[in-house]
Chain A
Amino acid sequence: MGADFSLRNRFERGLAAPICLTWELTYACNLACTHCLSSSGRRDPMELSTKEAKDLIDEIAAMQIFYVNIGGGEPMIRRDFFELIEHAVNQKVGVKFSTNGTRIDEEAARRLAAIDYLDIQISIDGADAQTSDRIRGEGSYDQARRAMDNLQAANFGQFKISVVMTRESIEQLDEFEALAQHYGAELRLTRLRPSGRGVDVWESLHPTREQNRRLYRWLMERPNVLTGDSFFHLSALGDPLEGLNLCGAGRVVCLIDPVGEVYACPFVIHDEFKAGNVRDAGFAQVWTTSELFRSLREPGNPGACASCGSYDACRGGCMAAKFFTGLEMSDPDPECVFGHGEVALEKKRLTIRPTPSPDHSKRVAVAITSR
């Protein structure tokens, strides 16, 4: 699917239902990755119940949403995880779920392999334990590899290996490719955004301009590597990358969080991008009537990018990346390939950046002296 501009304009005005709906099942997580987009760690006591979750799946099916991206936290921590995904696939709602792999033992792998319409992506952040564990924590890489081994042994078929591109991991592109080949897996690379806990590490971990250029060329030569459309800001470098090449927030993309809050996209968990809650009148109601979504479906303002010859390809980049680095929506993407974002950031040095709203990170143990 190359860039089709007329269709893209249609998409920017919104669809009857999202194409790419992400549902974070829980904020609970047994890892504590430094760049976690949803600041996960602790379970939220207000998490949707099994009954509420199943009702939501029924509604997703009724809206003819073809598949749902399930994430977290670590979705497999929910005790009703299998019950919920089976409820979805039985109604032909495909499930693509994202996991750290720690819960995929031999038995879970066999169970997963028996389910149709199920895709799995296992996250790592480096092609070796040292690099990956620096972000995801001690032992996490080996556990992810064990999950991959177990899926392979259970004949799951093709799974995905998902990597966020950081200043470090981006130097290992060929190693990731080899690892994917080793498992007959698909490789999926996505952009590091300053969302959730990522806000704290983005500055030191986001790729340099030179690295982004290399990544663009590497991806252009490998149309089979999946990117979830996350690098369209790099399309300003030349021919467009695979994908729709637009910011789909509230138009084709949407997030439902563990407590039912609906956000414009998984990377903007912040009050400003909250459209409503599925507990009030259901998801369809939020999708079709939210003021926020309506305004996101209005034609965008190219702002500072208006005079850029590449605006058609890059659209000024990612809304979340701008928002959490303190830029205006009319500013260029902080990683603008021509360096305009860096200039804009420099001007905003002294302004206070927004902090992601709900933070479910595990509280760091501090010694408390009583009384």
Chain B
Amino acid sequence: MALSAVHVFDASSPWRLSDQVSLRDEAFGALAYHHGNRRLVFLKSPELVALVRSLEEFESADEAIDAAVASGQHQRYVQALSSLFNSEILCGR
């Protein structure tokens, strides 16, 4: 089964937190709960939480990442966002 294009996270597109998701800050980062699929997801650093919250202000995830973290870390954060996308925490806009 090939994955269709819609199921791949594209960091050059604009993203935001899904309306179905509640975020709760915690000392380690945040908990995210998806009210639709009932999944609980852990955002394991405050930096990632800030990035997720800022996505809406940027034209692409790449830009949001560049504004938030050092360039050496870019790929790591693309991966983190991509896994949040797979849990339906993020959605396109």
Considering only CB atoms and an 8 Å cut-off, how many residues of chain B contact the other chain?
13
Q: Are A15 and B26 in contact (CB under 8 A)?
A: yes
Answer whether A10 and B28 are a contact pair too, CB < 8 Å, given A66-B40, A92-B35, A119-B38. yes
The reply on B44 being an interface residue by CB < 8 A is: yes
Expressed in whole angstroms, the Cα–Cα distance for A94 and B42 within the complex equals 18
Chain B residues lying within 8 Å of A67, measured Cβ to Cβ, are 33, 38
Contact with A along B36-59 (1 / 0, CB 8 A): 001010101000000000000000
Q: Are B24 and A16 in contact (CB under 8 A)?
A: yes
Q: Are B27 and A10 in contact (CB under 8 A)?
A: yes
Q: Are B24 and A66 in contact (CB under 8 A)?
A: yes
Chain B residues lying within 8 Å of A17, measured Cβ to Cβ, are 24
- Whose C-beta in chain B lies nearest to the C-beta of A15? B26
By secondary structure, the A interface counts as loop
Answer whether A66 and B22 are a contact pair too, CB < 8 Å, given A10-B28, A117-B35. yes
The reply on A179 being an interface residue by CB < 8 A is: no
Q: Are A94 and B35 in contact (CB under 8 A)?
A: yes
- Whose C-beta in chain A lies nearest to the C-beta of B40? A19
The reply on A367 being an interface residue by CB < 8 A is: no
Expressed in whole angstroms, the Cα–Cα distance for A7 and B38 within the complex equals 20
> B57 CB to closest chain A CB, in angstroms?
22
> B22 CB to closest chain A CB, in angstroms?
6
Answer whether A94 and B38 are a contact pair too, CB < 8 Å, given A19-B31, A66-B33, A67-B33. yes
The reply on A50 being an interface residue by CB < 8 A is: no
The reply on A64 being an interface residue by CB < 8 A is: yes
Chain A residues lying within 8 Å of B24, measured Cβ to Cβ, are 16-17, 64, 66
- Whose C-beta in chain A lies nearest to the C-beta of B42? A7
> B44 CB to closest chain A CB, in angstroms?
7
Q: Which residues of A202-240 have CB atoms within 8 Å of chain B's CB atoms?
A: none
The interface of chain A, by Cβ under 8 A from chain B, is: 1, 4, 7, 10, 13, 15-17, 19, 64, 66-67, 92, 94, 117, 119
